[in-house]
Structure 1
Amino acid sequence: MLAVPEMGLQGLYIGSSPERSPVPSPPGSPRTQESCGIAPLTPSQSPKPETRVPQQAPFSVVVAIDFGTTSSGYAFSFASDPEAIHMMSFGYTARDYYHDLDPEEARDWLYFEKFKMKIHSTTDLTLKTQLEAVNGKKMPALEVFAHALRFFKEHALQELREQCPSLPEKDTVRWVLTVPAIWKQPAKQFMREAAYLAGLVSREDAEQLLIALEPEAASVYCRKLRLHQLMDLSSRTQSGGRLGERRSIDSSFRQAREQLRRSRHSRTFLVESGVGELWAELQAGDRYMVADCGGGTVDLTVHQLEQPHGTLKELYKASGGPFGAVGVDLAFEQLLCRIFGEDFIATFKRQRPAAWVDLTIAFEARKRTAAPHRAGALNISLPFSFIDFYRKQRGHNVETALRRSSVNFVKWSSQGMLRMSCEAMNELFQPTVNGIIQHIEALLSRPEVQGVKLLFLVGGFAESAVLQHAVQAVLGARGLRVVVPHDVGLTILKGAVLFGQAPGVVRVRRSPLTYGVGVLNRFVAGRHPPDKLLVRDGRRWCTDVFERFVAAEQSVALGEEVRRSYCPARPGQRRVLINLYCCAAEDARFITDPGVRKCGALSLELEPADGGSDSSGAPPGRREIRAAMQFGDTEIKVTAVDVSTNRSVRAAIDFLSN
């Protein structure tokens, strides 16, 4: 969440081979001079993609920013003392600040909450995507994200200067931003663009910024856990009946909350230099799942331990969905709509945004106390402005609305509060909790992940006793060992720092989609559809062929390269664009197949070519550009070389201007 002055962001303005040829644009389609100016050559002669282990530049300090849906924070560690992680969690600072503003003054501020979800849910995300504040006013999402990141940057650098005055800022800080693993490439690029705008790093020093996947960061941190730093729900479940199980889990939750409170008061956290005791029990080949239950999403990943104390291998592409803690908030809002009317709630949120924040604060406080076997009802305070606004809008009071409502499990208390039974509160959790459990069960049923022994439950929503109890009840019965770190809400933040220290810890990942380009191949009768036939200069070509770079769910090693060579279509060409296509299927044949879509563009910026032949003996005018793409990192990366000069070519993949 973020609160900024309404005017506060206004200044932040931020020739072809015998076998293949470029795909012509369909008749009538928009086409620029540069977008078609490239001719594919044959792929790299290497029978297998080349693997190069990325060389990491030395950095004096790693700063990780966990940019959450409901709360955020940052942490850092010095290279000279990597086991000491210094933390700062900002939680609900912006919300509380906005809440304390005078109503008139609040109109001059724009308050954004839960805006991280917008990046995940927007199917046509661009740099011009807008965000709507609680008062209905809009602003470019890129500026909002950049403003928040700039805030963290300034606070982190100030603290670094206080602890190490001699530390130069430039080129010494490695920044790490966390994102959900289920985010697609456009959302990851959006976060990187926001970081550039915020001044975290420059485009020329892009390697200073790492994008860390949240469940991966949690997985890296869980390797360090000692037994006293975790809560093993499976071992605490007693066999003496349901009552013992209730007391055990609820007691464990209270202990975890106390441990979390203590850890948050301590701003420095020491991690093990090796691995924790729980991890020491695992052997090479053992498998475990991490369920990152955050504010906006649930993010699932399954890792296999490749060697003791060593690297990790992803067994199945990241999965999950929009089943975060905000789902409980939305269920509460829907409940209010049933009682007071959907039109009234919409009007109240728009005209009394600060009062709406008051109401969400009151609900949040009660939501955190919800437990599966709690006794006694819960009271939720209604702001006076809500009560007064309802009376003026409807002509009767809220007590009358409750009596007339079909919702019989919410009453009006004599203290002027909504009184909700514990069963009713727990019901608000059920759609979200059920969605999480269903996603976990669906993933466990995949043949690729058979043999999973452990489930780490992490993320802010994992603090919920309701979620913990439900997960243990369903998945514990399947023999899965469910483990919750005591500092569950800070697991990702700490893990992101560790990931920044050693980005190569996850050695193999799974590609979430199939990526490739469109090319022309020689037409083969009986194999290619007649409607794909194109005759050019007397030659018969099959158009729209989908040439695959990497397949969905394919294992891709870190640093593994897919190489292709291309030739500019005309002498003197300075820029070439190659459209990229993607799909969920592994066996797509053509870029026109159902599910295949244009998802981005590979751009190559060329320097003026020297005259004469290149080093390979190619005649003048035939200029080969060799591009190498990496799909095994958290972002898709590309590099390119001009074969004639052996010089690097500026190459980039754009997923936001599609």
Structure 2
Amino acid sequence: MSASKRKGKKEDKKAAVPTESNRPVVPTDSNRPVVPTDSNRPVVSNESNRPVVPTGSSRNKDKLMVCAIDFGTTYSGYAYSMRSDTMKIFCPQWTSGTSTLVSYKTPTTVLLDRDEEFVAFGYDAEKMYSEYVEEDEADDYFYFRRFKMMLYEKTMKEKLSTETQVSDIRGKKLPAVVVFSHAIKYLKDHLHDALNTKGIDIQDGDIEWVLTVPAIWNDPAKQFMRQAAEMAEIDSNCLVIALEPEAASIFCKELPVEKFEEGSSNIDVFSPGKRYLVLDAGGGTIDITVHEVKGKGKLQELSRASGGDWGGITVDRTFRKMLTDIVGVKFLDDYCNENTSEYIELFKDFEVKKRQKIDESSQSGRVTLKISSTFLEKYEQVYGKDISRRTKETKYADSLKWEGDKMRMKKELFQSFFKPSCDEIVNHVGKLLADPKVVGTNVILMVGGFSESEIVQNAVRSAFPKCRVVIPQEAGLAVLKGAVQFGHNPSIIAARVVKFTYGIECTVPFDPAVHDPGKKMKDPENRNSFRCHSIFSKHVEAGAVVYLDEEQKEHVYYPIRADQKSISFSVYISENADPMYTDEPGCTYLGNLTMDISNTSGEEKPEFAAKLKFGGTEITVSARNAQTNETANIKLNLLNKEP
């Protein structure tokens, strides 16, 4: 057995349910003593692993600058401001290599060579890879795009780890953490180059970094992003994780009235006591939460963040399905592999049309997209007939026409591509607004790049006519700029709602009237008695409101053997409020908590106290020797495989 909890003096011997005094750690292969090595040695509890959300005397008060990286599914960028003028936020401009398009974000694309070394990112990666395809050299490279969404999809199917892989455009795989770290490092280096060009000399230790993640991402995914940032040479002591809808909410709260879209206003939206729903519609995911404005401009989450993979690329998938209905999956896949640059340009043009106002993108009642002549010629070569003739054989006969190098579709067909996403958004918002916890919420704040779509805006407005829809002019930059503000003042989010019930796996004295006979085991301390294993020892309950820097109750453990060097146990989450066992429906293994107890100074039976903190954007843990009060080494690993 790895560890146990000491019984309290006043414990009722008949008690069988888990209490604070009888929660020993369950003995399993996953929690037997771990010998500390360079690869698994627990980190000392210090400023880098205490709550990510600091208080007024925060660790970043001496930083000269805050730089936020908004790592998006389709586009990414960074922004920064100096501590001397926190509201003066700078965003670099990016220029497409194939057009005059200038934007504040660049495509989330990574190009690596055959040795997995970095080559290019963003528009440069798109341009270079297209050239390699034309020169028949693409097999020597890895080209990754939209890999953030791949990561989210992986978390829905399997436990995330450092070994999790993502596929490039041709199906070649690499560890996801490697791809993410290359992207983060490029943006980090780009900032330093930009500062050097301006003659600004700032060292890494002078910068507080902020990395954005969707609020619906799970805890291992957040730790994954932190590890990727560390691989990109960002010191963990100088890094905070920001939740995207929270960042957008912070940004909008500080905007003047004239910075909102015509027809929407922030008047009274952000006054104390007001409640509003944040609809963060990005390229990959839709993040939804509800905030209440508290005193001194603080914000409190009223409903745990929720949403799904209904973002802008859902529209792309629907558009792509139309194409495959006409030309077939194999033809489109072959075209993507053999004419990559043209394929990318087609979807880039589609992206522009997605964001335009309906009247601008559909003159004469039709939406026009450019299509390469190669696409049309190849189709005729493969199938022996032109694509117009084939289209007339499909359900798109009356709504889609091919004219020269253009694809022209009726406005109704174009709008139908948005329907699956809009339906999901409307249904989810409707359910959330019906929750008694958010009663009185009649404002919807729309942010994120996908919120710039007039079709999405109209769908929300028509579905909720009694709600005021508020949209900032820079909806696509709300998360990025808000993340900078969050970095300067992380304590602005005063409280959050816990998504799951968290606990550790432990054992308790076996009671045949209460416990499952299949979980009966001999007590390793007393062979004449029995214990029940796989007990879910609850630390915090799903739906609980946790405040900034709030610590849960301390739990004390002690080693079973005198030669034991570590205490290790499994952490679980549950969708249920009060689970009894860790293997019952709704329970999921989260990770492993390892406490280094090698330095016990000859104590006869040392005790160690550990406590979890949930008030920040990440779970953190601290531990101490309960007898000497010295800080103990402890590590929470959420990226290991299941026990």
Smaller-chain TM-score range?
0.7 to 0.9
* Distance verdict in 2 for CA 1:161–1:623, change over 3 Å: farther
Q: Does the Cα contact within 8 Å between 1:111 and 1:134 map onto a contact in 2?
A: yes
Tell me if structure 2 keeps the 8 A contact 1:98–1:106. Answer: no
- Tell me, yes or no, if the aligned pair for 1:234 and 1:472 is still in contact at 8 Å: no
1:166-208 CA-partner distances (Å, limit 9, x unpaired) = 43x132110000110000011111111110111122xxxx231
TM-score normalized by structure 2? Answer: 0.83
- Mapped contact 1:565–1:625 kept (Cα < 8 A): yes
Q: Is the contact made by 2:538 and 2:578 (CA closer than 8 Å) also made in structure 1? A: no
1:23 to 23, 26, 32: 26
Q: Does 1:197 align with 2:231?
A: yes
Q: Check conservation: 1:135, 1:351, Cα contact below 8 A.
A: no
The gaps in structure 1 that reach 5 residues or longer are: 1-14, 36-50, 236-276, 614-619
The 2-side partners of 1:304 and 1:321 are apart by 23
- CA shift for structure 1 position 377: 1.2
The CA distance in 1 between the partners of 2:54 and 2:344, in whole Å, is 51
Give 1:430 shift. Answer: 0.9
Q: Is the 8 A contact 1:69 1:296 kept in 2?
A: yes
1:86 to 78, 83, 90: 90
Corresponding position of 2:440: 451
Partner of 2:614: 631
For structure 2, the residue ranges without an aligned partner over 5 or more in a row are 8-21, 36-52, 93-103, 108-121
Q: CA deviation at 1:283?
A: 4.1
Does the 8 Å contact 1:358/1:383 carry over to 2?
Answer: no
C-alpha contact 2:65 2:208 (8 A) present in aligned 1: yes
For 1:301, the equivalent position in structure 2 comes to 289
Determine if contact 1:134/1:353 at 8 Å carries over to the other structure: no
From the superposition, tell whether residues 406 and 524 of structure 1 become closer, same or farther in structure 2 (CA, over 3 Å). Answer: same
2:472 counterpart (485, 503, 509):
485
Query: C-alpha separation between the residues in 1 aligned to 2:607 and 2:224?
Result: 31
Match of 2:135 in 1: 104
CA–CA distance in structure 2, aligned partners of residues 142 and 390 of structure 1: 38
Q: Distance in 2 between matches of 1:508 and 1:646?
A: 29
Q: Within 2, Cα distance between the matches of 1:387 and 1:188?
A: 44
Separation in 1, partners of 2:626, 2:355: 61
Which residue matches 1:34?
34
Q: Does residue 1:135 correspond to 2:138, yes or no?
A: no
Residues 16 and 630 from structure 1, CA distance in 2 versus in 1: closer, same or farther, beyond 3 angstroms? closer
Per-residue CA shift, 1:102-128, capped at 9, x if unaligned?
511661443222111112111322212
Question: Alignment partner of 2:223: what SS?
Answer: helix
SS in 2 for 1:400: helix
Q: Partner of 1:335: helix, strand, or coil?
A: helix
From the superposition, tell whether residues 556 and 439 of structure 1 become closer, same or farther in structure 2 (CA, over 3 Å): same
1:545 to 524, 529, 535: 535
- Corresponding residue for 1:269? none
The equivalent position to 1:151 in structure 2, one of 180, 186, 190, is 186
Match of 2:149 among 114, 117, 126: 117
Q: Is the 8 A contact 2:289 2:306 kept in 1?
A: yes
Q: Is the 8 A contact 2:33 2:565 kept in 1?
A: no
State the 1:285 CA deviation: 2.4
Instruction: Provide the secondary structure at the position in 2 that maps to 1:22.
Output: coil
Contact 2:64 2:207 in 1 (8 A): yes
* Equivalent pairs, count: 568
RCO (CA 8 Å, sep 6+): is it higher in 1 or 2? 2
Of 221, 224, 227 in structure 1, the residue corresponding to residue 251 of structure 2 is: 221
Q: Secondary structure at the match of 1:641?
A: strand
Which of the numbers 195, 206, 217 marks the counterpart of 1:172?
206
* 2:65 partner amino acid: V
What's the % identity of the aligned pairs? Answer: 33
Displacement of 1:406: 3.1
Q: Give the Cα–Cα distance (whole angstroms) in 2 for the partners of residues 358 and 99 of structure 1.
A: 13
Cα distance in 2 for residues equivalent to 1:130 and 1:76: 31
Within a 5 Å distance, the mapping from 1:229-240 to structure 2 comes to 229-231=259-261, 233=263
2:313 aligned partner, one-letter code: V
- Counterpart residue type for residue 187 of structure 1: A
- 1:278 is matched with which residue? 267
1:316 aligns with 2:320: no
Q: TM (normalized to structure 1)?
A: 0.82
* Shift, 1:84, TM fit: 0.8
Q: Which residue of 2 aligns with 1:592?
A: 583
Distance 1:489 1:30, change over 3 A: closer
Of residues 407, 411, 414 in structure 2, which corresponds to 1:418?
Answer: 407
Partner of residue 341 from structure 1, selected from 315, 319, 328: 328
* 1:642 is aligned to 2:629: no
Please give the alpha-carbon distance, in whole angstroms, between the structure 1 residues aligned to 2:352 and 2:136. Answer: 25
Deviation at 1:653, TM superposition (A): 1.3
Q: State the distance in 2 between where 1:519 and 1:79 align.
A: 46
1:202-251 deviations in whole A, cap 9, x for unaligned? xxxx231010000000111111111111126467xxxxxxxxxxxxxxxx
Code of the residue aligned with 1:193 in structure 2: it is: Q
The alignment partner of 1:63 has SS state of strand
RMSD: 2.4
**Per-residue deviation, 1:130:** 1.6
Q: 2:504 aligns with which of 494, 499, 517?
A: 517
**What is the DSSP-based 3-state SS (H/G/I as helix, E as strand, rest coil) of the residue aligned with 1:193?**
helix
Structure 2 partner of 1:187: 221
Which residue of structure 1 aligns with residue 548 of structure 2?
A: 558
CA contact (8 A) 1:61 1:173 kept: yes
The residue type paired with residue 461 of structure 2 is: Q
Residue by residue over 1:406-445, the C-alpha shift from the partner in whole angstroms, topping out at 9 and shown as x without a partner, is: 3224433332322211110001111111111111111101
For 2:110, the equivalent position in structure 1 comes to none
SS at match of 1:587: coil
The residue type paired with residue 157 of structure 1 is: H
CA distance in 2, matches of 1:119, 1:450: 34
